[in-house]
Amino acid sequence: MPETILQRRNLYLSGASTVLGLLVALSTLAWGPWNDEFWTLASTARGLTLHEFLGNMYRDQHPILYYGLIYLAQASGITDLVALRSFNILGFILVAVTLAYAHRQKTINGGQILFVAVIYASSPLFLAYFAELRAYFILYSASISISILWLTIAQRVDETRVVSRGLIAAWTACLAVFVNLHYFATIFGGLLTLALLADLAWRKRWRLAAAIAAVSLAAAAPAVFLGAIQARFSLSGQMSWITTTFPQAIAIVAIIVAKAAALNVPAIGCAIIAALTPTEDRALRQQRRNIVVLIALTALFFGLMIGLNAVTPLIWDRYLMSAAGAVTVAIALLAGSAVAPKWGPAATAIVAVAWQIYGITWLDYDHRGFSPIAAAIVQTTAECKTTKVYAFIPAEGAAERRMGFRYYAEKFGFSYAEIASKAPQPITGGACPSLLWIWGTRFDAGKSAAQIVRDYDLRVEGNAVLELFEPQHYQILLAIR
């Protein structure tokens, strides 16, 4: 097949896959929100003063950047959930701009751009997290961008060329975004920076090393400062819900790596072939060597996290998305190199489209968030018209719980009354049951209805029955008969 026709075919297939991935992701914007999204909404709610917002941040366990974005959006009047979730498109734009910049800097070729785009837009990390009102989609996107910029600087250093002010500015801006989204990203960003500084020190490029050290410290300063304030809360038990064991930590790392590779066998195969193929091209050898270093740094990060987890459990799947972008970039750039098989782009795009179409089924639009509980309430109230619905509001976390209950009640069309511990009036049964909706915790798994009533100090007259326990988000529905 002539080279021009081959390139055009690869472009069309890769473009179709990227667009399809974005369309699938956009189709999820209205699905049911879950626990942490309501915390995002409540902690950044319109009407909060700056002092109140910062007070919420001091009690959180994440840097401020994503929350700050949503706080400013709500303060400006954008409060619709779909509209707020749509800000995640900024992650997609960040990757696109970085790819265009790296191509202009001659760090990556057109084929490598296609591989990055296809793997990125077909990864479960892209499809499943695009619509969450959390930082993770932008985190994965920023991980891709900072990895590309790291390779760009490393290539300039290898070639003993000037690292321009524009490239340093791009590194600073992207690193500032990356490390201020999640503290795992702060750690990975630190490893990438230290590797650059070590290379520059070995080459005695002290002025450049000093510049990169200065801008990198400045980029990380907000996360480090806020983290020091938050530490007294987090270290006192706010992360105690994580109980990841050593085998589980290894399994989670393996799953994240597979998802970052988009489970794309042709792309992985092309990357392996390219990595093992000898070449006389000096620039290609340099790029391959830098990719190997990036993979080693990523492995070091994962190993460090597994080691820390053995001391204090802290690994959760989405946290490791901080380094997932480096995996995506390493596979894409190897698979798209000049010595990789020519059939790679087409095969990768076809497999990606298959995964994206399949994703429409496993994304499970109708049962996201608290939808199973809300649907059960609607069914019971439809079958027995005098059913009363109550929502339990604890003293702690009341704001996000109220927001969550209200959202689903309005969406599914039922009303409820709020109730707290030791309520003056007991919940009673009757000809139709009374339903009590509790936003619980993982510790409620396996408990009987009587235990739940006792643990939440509820006043109940009648026989309490556990109608539903939704384990993913710890949602409980009790029927009082």
pLDDT in tens, 375-414: 999 999 999 999 999 999 998 889 999 999 999 999 999 9
User: Per-residue pLDDT tens for 266-295?
Assistant: 999 999 999 999 998 898 999 999 999 999
Backbone angles phi, psi at 41, to 5 degrees: -65, -45
| pLDDT band, residue 205 (cuts 50/70/90) | very high
For residue 416, pLDDT over 90 is answered with yes
Q: Is the pLDDT of residue 332 over 90?
A: yes
pLDDT of residue 286: 94
Residue 314 CB partners (closer than 8 Å, separation 6+): 239, 242, 244, 305, 308
Query: Which one has a higher pLDDT value, 1 or 380?
Result: 380
**Residue burial 248-269, b: 16+ Cβ < 10 Å; e: rest:** ebeebbeebbebbbbbbebbbb
Instruction: Say if residue 239's pLDDT is above 70.
Output: no
Question: What whole-number distance in Å separates Cα of residue 408 and Cα of residue 333?
Answer: 44
**Banded model confidence at residue 237, pLDDT cuts 50, 70, 90:** low
Q: Starting at the earlier edge strand, list the strands of the sheet with 417-419.
A: 417-419, 388-392, 434-439, 475-480, 464-470
pTM equals 0.96
Which amino acid appears at position 446 of this protein? G
Q: What is the pLDDT of residue 161?
A: 80
Please write the tens of the pLDDT for every residue from 212-227: 999 999 999 999 999 9
Six-digit token string for 102: 């790296």
Q: Say if residue 236's pLDDT is above 70.
A: no
pLDDT of residue 48: 97
pLDDT digits (tens, 9 = 90+) for 431-477: 899 999 999 988 899 999 999 999 999 999 989 999 999 998 999 99
- Say how far apart CA 296 and CA 448 lie, in whole Å: 48
135 pLDDT tier (thresholds 50, 70, 90): very high
Confidence at residue 238, expressed as pLDDT on a 0 to 100 scale: 58
Which structure tokens are listed for 56? Answer: 């919420």
